[in-house]
Amino acid sequence: MIRWYADYFTSEYWSFARHEYTGERTEAETAYLLEALGEHAPGRRVLDLGCGIGRHAVGLARHGYRVTGVDICAWALEEARSAADREGVRVGLVEGDLLERVELPEADAAICVQAFGWGRDDEQLALLRRVRERLVPGGLLVLDHSNVAAILRQYRAEDRFEAEGDTFDFRRSYDPLDGRSRGELRVTHADGRVAVLRDDVRLYLPSEVVALVRAAGFDVLRADADFEVGAPVRPETRYVQLLAVAAPRPRPAVLGHRGSSAEVDLRWAPDEIDFVRGAIDSAWADVGDPREPSRAYTLDDPYGSARATPVLSRHFGVSLLPSQVVTGAGTTGLLHALAGPGRLLHTAHAHPDLPAWSAQRGAELRVYAPDQDVASERPTTILLERPSVRGDVLPVAQVAELARAASSAGGMLVVDEACAGYLGPESSVVPLTTRMPGLVVLRSLSKGYCCGGLRAGFAICSPDVAETVRQAVPPLGMSALSLEVALRLLDQGDVLAELRQAVAAAKPELVEVLTGLGCRVEQGHPALPWVVTEDELPPWLAGRRLHGLTRVSVPLSQARRAALRRAVP
């Protein structure tokens, strides 16, 4: 698709624009950019988005910045190349449409001056997100835009400008419903030649640009008026410069698994299977020939709720409605589906999966403590891991308060109970969903049940948020075979009692070993098969590192416990 701006900013446009974008103006704007980059950019690699004829790229390169300019107009890029040659500087130039997928190099900063608003809002947001991905952590964005509030104060449907024998006739119209100004520039040269240029620009309020920049994953530092550092932005400000930095983002833990060369690997607990194998085998035996459920395509029950609700009701000792239950591809799949924009509150040591995916979709992340007043934060989502990485289990009454706070703000409390199976069904807050609003409880069959490969996850929801969850979670997310095995396993009741006893017996030995190594150990709930420490482990021992903590799994089998004892110096 050929866009209007592909052949707009050519020699015909610049026959007029050179009278507006004078050398003095370019020098003043470049001086502003140099000050902003010098104060906030972590390095000297700069992307010039919509660089045009290189007005700013060449000046920045003259001051030692390594600039890559990107523009769709071949004529403008050739002018930029000539300008760089005249100044004896090097500027990288890339021809491409920024609203499409142009290959951008990694950079410490990106500037965009009078080149924002050519596309739709969703295209502008996508561009900002791509730029965000190419900036180093803490990288700077300087985004200049025309303030529609100021423009409309002097908006003229027709205008004329004459210079050096050329006549420039403007006709334009502004649509307040889509915020776009569509216009025609008729250039009549002194020799009689005529050129007609047409544009279609989205004009923004500063608040709209701030919202786009934040949704793209930036933290806004400040806004300046008319290329003057510290000048306040007012309704009459014609040009607004927004300074923002690429906010640090968590990385999903599920994507960070690597091997370990440590002599003793206690990142996981593969020996848990010894205590639940009988229950798993029984569940598979009840299913029978797996080919039958594998062929099932349950369009009449796309969320598995009709099949799962009776079993979940028995397992958790509460009467659930089918409309409250949504199945998905494990807790991970459900968390991914529930990630979205808005404001997400999470605890300091929460697993980074939901925060990371939410940030990618424009969410604002904030850390909270479960005992603080969170209602004033007006959260879209509150994430609570129960039990937490530290091994504590928030009391039911406090969970209810968090759910009430989330609901009062029109949001939801997502309680990740992926590890709650270790504690027994009676410890779950699933029963709260029948009497509290705004609550979603996630359960799975990986931790303890040793059936992570089934990708079996359940979201049990308060009725007021159940439809919201269904709109987010893909239907048919859990296979019919996985659902059958999972339900037969859950219908056996508390199958992790033996595992719980084994953990209680083996955990003190691990605590003793780690303490002897000089580690300060947080034991957490006695039924949980891990401990955490803030101290560094010796090289021969591997644990799972999460947000300044190391989680060390309890070795359960005699062989793994003996291996740990042998490795201790």
Cα–Cα distances (Å) from 538 to 340, 518, 530, 569, in that order, read: 39, 10, 17, 10
- Longest distance between any two alpha carbons in the chain, whole Å: 96
Same fold, 253-270+496-567 and 277-490: no
Q: In the numeric block, which tokens belong to residue 519?
A: 């580690």
Torsion of Cα atoms, 315 then 320 then 322 then 327, to 10°: -50
pLDDT value at position 256? 67
Which residues contact residue 18 at a Cβ distance below 8 angstroms, ignoring those fewer than 6 apart? none
Which residues contact residue 514 at a Cβ distance below 8 angstroms, ignoring those fewer than 6 apart? 521, 531, 533, 552
CATH number of 253-270+496-567: 3.90.1150
Q: Residue 84 belongs to what H/E stretch?
A: helix 74-87
Report the alpha-carbon distance of residue 526 to residue 83 in Å, rounded. Answer: 71
Q: In the numeric block, which tokens belong to residue 371?
A: 């005992």
Cα–Cα distances (Å) from 299 to 23, 101, 309, 490, in that order, read: 67, 37, 17, 23
Report the alpha-carbon distance of residue 499 to residue 147 in Å, rounded. Answer: 64
The stretches of 173-223 forming alpha helices (DSSP H) are: 206-215
Residue among 358, 341, 362 nearest 217 (CA): 362
Characterize the bridge pairing of strands 412-416 and 381-385.
Answer: parallel
Domain boundaries, the chain: 4-246, 253-270+496-567, 277-490
Residue length of the chain = 569
Residue 287, class by beta-carbon neighbours within 10 Å (0-12 exposed, 13-18 middle, 19+ buried)? middle
Q: What is the residue whose two structure tokens read 């798993």? A: 280
97-108 as b/e, with b when 16 or more CB fall inside 10 Å? bbbeebebeebb
CATH 3.90.79.10 fits 4-246, yes or no: no
3-state helix, strand, coil in the chain (%, to 5): 40, 25, 35
Amino acid type, 425: P
Q: CB atoms < 10 A from the CB of 267, how many? A: 17
Which residues contact residue 386 at a Cβ distance below 8 angstroms, ignoring those fewer than 6 apart? 393, 394, 399, 415, 416, 417, 420, 429
Report the alpha-carbon distance of residue 286 to residue 19 in Å, rounded. Answer: 82
Characterize the bridge pairing of strands 363-367 and 342-346.
Answer: parallel
Q: Do residues 9 and 55 make contact, with C-beta atoms less than 8 angstroms apart?
A: no
Amino acid type, 558: Q
pLDDT value at position 260? 79
Amino acid type, 335: L
Q: Do residues 415 and 334 make contact, with C-beta atoms less than 8 angstroms apart?
A: no
Which residues contact residue 559 at a Cβ distance below 8 angstroms, ignoring those fewer than 6 apart? 271
Residue among 237, 396, 242, 261 nearest 316 (CA): 396
Beta bridge partners of 229: none
3-state DSSP assignment of residue 136:
strand
Per-residue pLDDT of the chain (569 residues; tens, 9 = 90+): 568 999 899 999 999 889 999 999 999 999 999 999 999 999 999 999 999 999 999 999 999 999 999 999 999 999 999 999 999 999 999 999 999 989 999 999 999 999 999 999 999 999 999 999 999 999 999 999 999 999 999 999 999 999 889 999 999 999 999 999 999 999 999 999 999 999 999 999 999 999 999 989 899 999 999 999 999 999 999 999 999 999 877 778 777 677 778 899 999 889 999 999 999 999 999 999 999 999 988 999 999 999 999 999 999 999 999 999 999 999 999 999 999 989 999 999 999 999 999 998 888 899 999 988 898 999 999 999 999 999 999 999 999 999 999 999 999 999 999 999 999 999 999 999 999 999 999 999 999 999 999 999 999 999 999 999 999 999 999 999 999 999 999 999 999 999 999 999 999 999 999 999 999 999 999 999 999 999 999 999 999 988 789 999 999 999 999 999 999 98
Q: Do residues 361 and 382 make contact, with C-beta atoms less than 8 angstroms apart?
A: no
Strand spans (E) along 238-377: 239-246, 264-265, 325-329, 342-346, 363-367
3-state DSSP assignment of residue 497:
helix
Which residues contact residue 376 at a Cβ distance below 8 angstroms, ignoring those fewer than 6 apart? none
Beta bridge partners of 65: none
May I ask the CATH architecture of the domain 277-490? 3-Layer(aba) Sandwich (3.40)
Q: In the numeric block, which tokens belong to residue 350?
A: 């929460």
The C-alpha R_g of the chain, in whole angstroms, comes to 30
Work out the angle at residue 74's Cα, subtended by the Cα atoms of residues 69 and 80, and round it to the nearest 5 degrees: 45
pLDDT value at position 1? 53
Q: Which tens digits make up the pLDDT trace of 296-330?
A: 889 999 999 999 999 999 999 999 999 999 999 99
Q: Do residues 214 and 364 make contact, with C-beta atoms less than 8 angstroms apart?
A: yes
Report the alpha-carbon distance of residue 53 to residue 81 in Å, rounded. Answer: 8
Report the alpha-carbon distance of residue 360 to residue 349 in Å, rounded. Answer: 19
